[in-house]
Every structure is written in C-alpha cells, then in structure tokens.
Structure 1
Amino acid sequence: MEIDFKGINVIGFDADDTLWVNETYFRDTEDKFADLLEKYETKNKIDQELFRTEIKNLDLYGYGIKGFTLSMIECALDLSNNNVSSKTIGALLDLGKEMITKPVELLNGVEEVLKNLKDKYRLIVLTKGDLLDQERKLERSGLSEYFHHVEVLSDKKEKNYIDLLEHLQIKPSEFLMIGNSLKSDVLPLVEIGARALHVPFHTTWEHEEVRGPIENKGYMTMSNLTDILEYV
C-alpha cells in the first residue's frame, strides 16, 4: 500500500536492524548458549526456556543485551537445577560482553538515505533498549551528525509515542516513522495518526512478531531503505 508523504516534517528511525545489524548477534549468542547447556536439555527446549525467561524479565530489565545476559544466567541455573558451573556462568558473562563490544555494522544504504534527508527533514532516532549501549552504538556508527534528537524508550507502545511527540512538539500528522518491526515501529504510529514505513529485516525476535491478519492502512512496506528516496 502506498501512503501520502505530503506534510511530513519529521522522520523517526528505529536503530537496531533498521540502521545497523542487531538481531543476528542475539541469534548467534542463543546458539552458543544452547551449546553451553547441551548436557542439561535439548536445543529446542533451551531456546524455549530462554525466551520464556526473557519475556518474564522484560518488566524488570527492559530490552537490551544486559537484560538478555541476566536472563541467560537465570535460565542456565534453572535448567541445571543450580548445578551449572561457575566456569559456564563466566562464559555467559563473556558472551554478553562480546555482544556489547561488537562493531557496528551499518545496513545497506543507511548513510546514503540520511545524507539525502538531513537537509529536508528533522531526523530523530527512536529506539528501545539499554541507554548506555544504544548511545555507544550510535557514537560508533558515525551517524550522530544526521540526527536532531535521540530517544531511548522503555517500550514502543502508543502512549510512549504520544508522550514523546508531545514533548518534542511534533504533530502525529507531520511525523513518519521508519523501522523493521510492525509491532513496535509501525502499528502504534498508525493508531495515533502518524505514518510509518516498514523495512523488514531478515531476522525478527519472536516477541516482535505480529500474529493474525493485519489491516494495512497508514503504512507502506519497502524491501530496501533506499527505496524511500523515490518518495521524499
């Protein structure tokens, strides 16, 4: 579905898996986690229990690598009936640190798009996750110069967007959000009267998947971020 881009003054970008690679590192780490715990359970069961633990802990830890690492440790203790070795716990902590220190890998076309848009629109980053980690990634990405504002949200629900747009004095009708998650970056914006552009990433966390039929109104799906340059 095509949308009308007229009247847009501000464009928001999700960060993880929209500007740079992120979810791939979580999937790789989950595989390593399963390898470390293989003597206690099957990989399928380990994956299920880790996901269950992550979801249970979201309200406590929020999104991001630090919460994920704590959930890995908790899950390892549960699966092993508290018999997991201190060496394995140390290995899990190392996995978390390895994720945090990963180089930032920009997705194709990101800098080209930002260069083309920066003088036409007010550009902002709207992401969720750990504040320190997201600030660190943005700095290492070399993209900071393109953005007027950066906001790390605790969640991406309608109220989070309403409160932020009001704070920044942005009308929803003037705002376009770009992201890879229908659940977090697209559907909440459509509901509050903004517009949204969905650019899927090849890997999506199960928690971000949308179940059931979706009425496509108010947003557009593009296979590549650079496709937006044909419209704005």
Structure 2
Amino acid sequence: MKQNILFDLDDTLIYCNKYFNLVQDQFVDLMTDWFAPFGIGRGAIMDKHSELDIAGVQSFGFKSDHFPQSFVDTYDYFSRLTGRAASQDERLRLWRLGNSVYDHEVEPYPFMEETLLTLAAEGHRLHLYTGGDAIIQRRKIERMNLERFFEDRIYVRMHKNTDAMKDILKQGRFDEDRTWMIGNSLRTDVLPALECGIRAIYLKRDQEWAYNLLNIETPSSSAMLTLTELNEVPPAIQQHIALLKPPGL
C-alpha cells in the first residue's frame, strides 16, 4: 500500500506568496506616490495589477519575467489613463523591483523536514512537481537540499495544469489508485489531480493568491482532503490506507 506522493513546492513546502506580497506592497506605495495627485488610489492600483498579473500567468505560464512585466504594464495603463508622462527610468525602476522578489532567501514551512522524513521512512515514493522558471526553481530546491527526498523525481513546468499533470503521470506510469497531489493551489494542484483521477490534499494557506482560488466539486469525499499543516499529511495518508486494508490485516 505504498503511495506515490507528489508535492508542490511554492507555498506548500516553502514560503513564496509572502515575498510577492511584500514586493507588491512596495510597488503600490510607489505607484500611489506617482498617481494619487491624479485621483488614483491604492485599491484601483491593486485591482489593476492583480488583473494584469493573472492575465500574464494565464497567457505565458509561470515565466519569471511576467511578474516585473505586470508592474510595468500597470504603470503604463495608469500613465495612459491619467495623461501623466511615463519615463523609461520609472519603468526600469519597477522592473527591477519586480525582479527583486527572486532574491529573497528560501524559507521552509513548519514541519517540512519532519513530514518528508516521515513519509520517506514509511516507504512512500516522493515526487516534487513545481511551476516556474527552471533555473529559479532548481535554485530553491538546491538551497533546501530537497534532492535527498526526491532524487530524480523532480518535475518543473512553465504551465501547471491538467495537461502537464497527465503527461507526468503517463511518463512515470503512475498507479492512479495510489497517487496523491499535495499543494496549496486549487487551480494548479487540486483541480488537475482530480481531473486526472488521483487523490488531492489541499493545503489551505492564509492570504492565498487570487489566481489559486476557485470552486471545486469533488467526485467523492475521499478524493480531496483539506489540511492546514504539513505534519497533518502523513497521518491523513495512513488513515486512508488503513481504510483500504481488508479486516484482520
């Protein structure tokens, strides 16, 4: 009854959104200084940036330059709207600010180490499935020394969706009845897993990125679990396995 367990990386095993939120706040502060005299408030800037940021991900996937580009696109939008003169120096400043999000240290979520050690000790086969720029994601993996848990079972995709999940499952010849996807994104982790016929664990995080949220109808109560801490994962999987064992075993 050993399981294949695929883990998402960002905001599942390591912190990510909080750094994007920090840089976004700096962006909005700067934009407010520039555009408040033209009647543009923080809320309008936040809403437009969120719209353009999500549109960029939907079009281009998790390319590393889409986030700084969303800053520049938001700036250009309000420059046109208000008639405020745009400058290349200000665009470059915003681009550099957006890129600075990738300079933050890699920080594990509580119980990351203990959870992976426990699952590996129980004999489960661990996989890492993450979206983004391969160089940036590999750097995070190296800094956390995650290869010791996942070895060559690491998949980095620019677009993280059902097609990408199907491809991974097909190439690895996964047994769908014994495969799990664990992640914080309903859109890119949970929904693709359910559409591919494997089980999903939704790790619900505070202040989740709007792109990751959507309503999901699960085919059965056992297909998807909702947890809030990584150390809840091993007992949840063990409980599921126990329910599948014939009486007396």
- TM-score, length of structure 1 as denominator length: 0.88
Q: For the residues of structure 2 that align with 1:95 and 1:145, how far apart are their CA atoms?
A: 33
Say if 1:77 and 1:83, in contact at 8 Å, map to a contact too.
Answer: no
Q: Residue type matched to 2:66 in 1? A: G
Q: Kindly provide the amino acid, as one letter, of the partner of residue 56 in structure 1.
A: A
Answer whether contact 1:11 1:123 (CA < 8 A) is retained: yes
Return 5+ residue gaps in structure 2 as ranges. Answer: 239-249
Q: Is 1:188 aligned to 2:201, yes or no? A: no
Q: Report SS of the residue matched to 2:75.
A: helix
Q: Distance in 2 between matches of 1:64 and 1:112?
A: 31
Q: 1 or 2, which has the higher helix percentage?
A: 2
Alignment coverage as a number of residue pairs: 225
Cα offsets for 1:165-196 (capped at 9, x unmatched):
10112122221111111222112212222111
User: Take 2:2 and 2:160, find their aligned partners in 1: how far apart are those partners?
Assistant: 21
1:134 aligns with 2:140: no
Between 106-115 and 65-74, the greater mean CA deviation after superposition: 65-74
Matches within 5 A, 1:177-216: 177-211=181-215, 214-215=217-218
Unaligned runs of 5+ in 1: 1-6
Instruction: Render the CA deviation track for 1:203-227: whole Å, top value 9, x for unaligned.
Output: 211111114x634630111121101
* TM-score, normalised relative to structure 2: 0.83
- CA displacement at 1:55 relative to structure 2: 2.9
Aligned to 1:35: 29
What is the Cα-based RMSD across aligned positions, in Å?
1.9
Q: Does structure 2 retain, via aligned residues, the 8 Å contact 1:197–1:221?
A: yes
Distance 2:194 2:56 in 1: 28
Q: Does 1:223 align with 2:228?
A: yes
Question: Post-superposition shift, 1:48?
Answer: 1.5
Per mean C-alpha deviation after superposition, the further-off stretch among 221-230 and 76-85 is: 76-85
Distance 2:190 2:54 in 1: 21
Q: CA deviation at 1:127?
A: 1.2
Provide closer, same or farther for how the CA distance between residues 65 and 202 of structure 1 changes in structure 2, counting only shifts above 3 A: farther
**Which protein has greater RCO, CA pairs closer than 8 Å, 6+ apart?**
1
Bigger Cα Rg: 2
- The match for 1:122 among 104, 125, 146 is 125
Q: Within 1, Cα distance between the matches of 2:207 and 2:139?
A: 23
